Amino acid sequence: MTELCDLTFAEARKALAAKEFSAVELNKAYLEAMEAARGLNAYVLETPEIALERAAESDARIARGEAGALEGLPLGVKDLYCTEGVRTTACSKILGDFTPPYESHVTSLMRSAGAVMLGKLNNDEFAMGSSNETSAFGTPVNPWRRKGSDAKLVAGGSSGGSSAAVAARICLGATATDTGGSIRQPAAFTGTVGVKPTYGRCSRWGIVAFASSLDQAGPIARDVRDAAILMGSMAGYDKRDSTSVDTPVPDYEAAVGRSVKGLRIGVPKEYRVDGMPAEIEKLWSQGAEQLKAAGAEIVEVSLPHTKYALPAYYIVAPAEASSNLARYDGVRYGARVAGRDITEMYENTRAAGFGSEVRRRIMIGAYVLSAGYYDAYYVRAQKVRTLIKQDFETVFAAGVDAILTPATPSAAFGVGEMANASPVEMYLNDVFTVTVNMAGLPGVSVPAGLSAEGLPLALQLIGRPFDEETLFATAAVIEDANGRFTADRWW
């Protein structure tokens, strides 16, 4: 049944409508494929009963001619999304067996559109990381391997379960979240397409918070069209998220295949960072050529505050995290470790429940928010953030429609390979992605080639606020020019 799992959603949708196979058959094929791929550790919880029940409901709706936009789609859900009656842990021990009595806004929209949940996907603990090695459930394995090597590679982070599962064809599409790159970087490492929407486009309600002013929900999918289809059902206003924006959701799928003739694509000179591998440099100029061949105009642009983005991000994100994670006190959720008094109970619970990266972030956050350092660090980082946002505004005001950059500074690295590196070296993975979150802009990561070692490499397109459509149109051009990248099944 693996052939069923090789179809994109756009293809499966047609076959489902033509009754070539049923939603139950499609989802059964995925459940079997998941079982065969357990060694990849992409899922932290499989929900086969829910999947088959919802797939049968999909078949009934298809039979009545009432199919929704995602009808029958076998979906993997990042374990950061609250799912009604289904354990949600953010891949942290501190949440224990927390089982939310409600569904996140985004997944409930997808469910109303007919999506079928296969299970919950691995991620870095509280989405803090770039390799998914901070998860309490262990690291998911990238379905891609270096040529001639069977060394295990990371699938990126924090949405490493989502990217591994989509690339391994053990879900058709996945939800993910992106605070500094967690959708785009794992997508880049696995030859999949990842979309980080404009801040406010998707509701954060019911998604475990990391850094609330940066977090956004978005899809990881097999190709650009599937990503656009998923986005169409994930986006939408929600009054329960005060930063959700009430603006109509366009037909994203219609933007796939739209001409890019006459578009102005900016190439920022500051993204040519020191030590960038020649193959990334080449991928980038090739991508620019491909857009040019499709009728776009390539212009050099400047985003002068780029070099401050990573340091500023690693102040703002931990500050918000330390505040958001204060709620895990052993009383309201999940795990509790007793102590002689309430203070000791808090301390014991938090010491046992949080992993080392999360503890590091809480400490950095508490420090930069403390009375003596607030102005020197937090306020200054917020000012830098404004400058970064203004850089983009200036470029867009000058008539640039989208910005083309590499998605990551390297291809996927080995599991454990960064274990002895400093945390800052891991943070460098996000050098091309964090600016987008700091400015609240949409960004897409699209596969554009293979490294000398045979691993996927990707480009990023950054758009104007709420102009995801231009990103789908331009990403589709890059995709058409380079083809799709599919990992061979070895697991």
CA 103 to chain centre: 19
How many residues line the site for ligand GLN (CB under 6 A)? 13
Nearer to ligand GLN, 104 or 158 (CB): 158
**Residue 196 annotated in active site:** no
Q: Which of 47, 104, 108, 130 binds ligand GLN (CB under 6 A)?
A: 130
From the candidates 182, 322, 445, 451, which is the catalytic residue? 182
Nearer to ligand GLN, 74 or 206 (CB): 206
Nearer to ligand GLN, 210 or 472 (CB): 210
Name residues whose C-beta falls within 8 Å of residue 440's C-beta, 6 or more positions apart in sequence: 198, 199, 200, 389, 465
The residue behind tokens 């791929």 is 37
Nearest approach in angstroms of CB 165 to ligand GLN is 17
Exposed, middle or buried, 81 (CB in 10 Å: 0-12/13-18/19+)?
A: buried
Nearer to ligand GLN, 127 or 234 (CB): 127
Nearest approach in angstroms of CB 484 to ligand GLN is 25
* Closest to 98 in 3D by CA, of 111, 84, 110, 109: 84
Residue 241 has which token pair? 């998220």
Exposed, middle or buried, 332 (CB in 10 Å: 0-12/13-18/19+)?
A: exposed
**Residue 269 annotated in active site:** no
Nearer to ligand GLN, 32 or 357 (CB): 357
Question: Does the protein bind ligand GLN through residue 161 (CB under 6 A)?
Answer: no
Site for ligand GLN in 358-417 (CB under 6 A): none
Site for ligand GLN in 406-445 (CB under 6 A): 430
Nearest approach in angstroms of CB 303 to ligand GLN is 19
SS3 107: helix
Nearest approach in angstroms of CB 181 to ligand GLN is 5
Site for ligand GLN in 37-76 (CB under 6 A): none
Q: How far is CA 193 from CA 224, 406, 461, in A?
A: 6, 14, 11
State the Cα–Cα distance between residues 84 and 104, nearest whole angstrom: 8
Exposed, middle or buried, 369 (CB in 10 Å: 0-12/13-18/19+)?
A: middle
CA 64 to chain centre: 34
Question: Does the protein bind ligand GLN through residue 174 (CB under 6 A)?
Answer: no
Nearest approach in angstroms of CB 386 to ligand GLN is 20
Q: Which of 30, 189, 210, 485 binds ligand GLN (CB under 6 A)?
A: 210
Question: Does the protein bind ligand GLN through residue 127 (CB under 6 A)?
Answer: yes
Q: How far is CA 157 from CA 42, 61, 428, in A?
A: 12, 36, 13
Residue 62 has which token pair? 């298809």
* Closest to 366 in 3D by CA, of 475, 246, 358, 188: 358
Question: Does the protein bind ligand GLN through residue 128 (CB under 6 A)?
Answer: yes
State the Cα–Cα distance between residues 478 and 288, nearest whole angstrom: 9
State the Cα–Cα distance between residues 313 and 411, nearest whole angstrom: 22
Question: Does the protein bind ligand GLN through residue 322 (CB under 6 A)?
Answer: no
Nearest approach in angstroms of CB 135 to ligand GLN is 12
Confirm if 81 and 206 have CB atoms less than 8 A apart.
yes
Q: Which of 158, 290, 451, 482 binds ligand GLN (CB under 6 A)?
A: 158
Nearer to ligand GLN, 226 or 430 (CB): 430
B/e letters for 97-136, b = 16+ CB within 10 Å, e = fewer, are ebebeebbbbbbbbbebbbbbbbbbbbbbbbbbbbbbbbb
Question: Does the protein bind ligand GLN through residue 180 (CB under 6 A)?
Answer: yes
Helix (H) or strand (E) holding 299: strand 297-301
Q: Which of 181, 266, 330, 449 binds ligand GLN (CB under 6 A)?
A: 181
Stretch that binds ligand GLN, among 106-114, 148-156, 180-188, 274-282 (CB under 6 A): 180-188
Q: Which of 22, 175, 179, 190 binds ligand GLN (CB under 6 A)?
A: 179
The pattern of x and - marking residues 255 through 274 that bind ligand GLN according to CB under 6 A reads --------------------
Nearest approach in angstroms of CB 43 to ligand GLN is 19
CA–CA–CA angle 49, 52, 57 (5° rounding):
125
Stretch that binds ligand GLN, among 101-109, 121-129, 235-243, 417-425 (CB under 6 A): 121-129
Stretch that binds ligand GLN, among 108-116, 127-135, 237-245, 340-348 (CB under 6 A): 127-135
- The residue at minimum Cβ distance from ligand GLN is 182
Stretch that binds ligand GLN, among 19-27, 172-180, 293-301, 378-386 (CB under 6 A): 172-180
* Number of Cα atoms under 13 Å in the Cβ half of residue 261: 2
State the Cα–Cα distance between residues 396 and 387, nearest whole angstrom: 14
Confirm if 114 and 71 have CB atoms less than 8 A apart.
yes
**Residue 239 annotated in active site:** no
Q: Which of 72, 74, 114, 129 binds ligand GLN (CB under 6 A)?
A: 129
Nearer to ligand GLN, 89 or 130 (CB): 130
Return residues touching ligand GLN (CB under 6 A).
127-130, 158, 178-182, 210, 317, 430
Active site members: 78, 158, 182
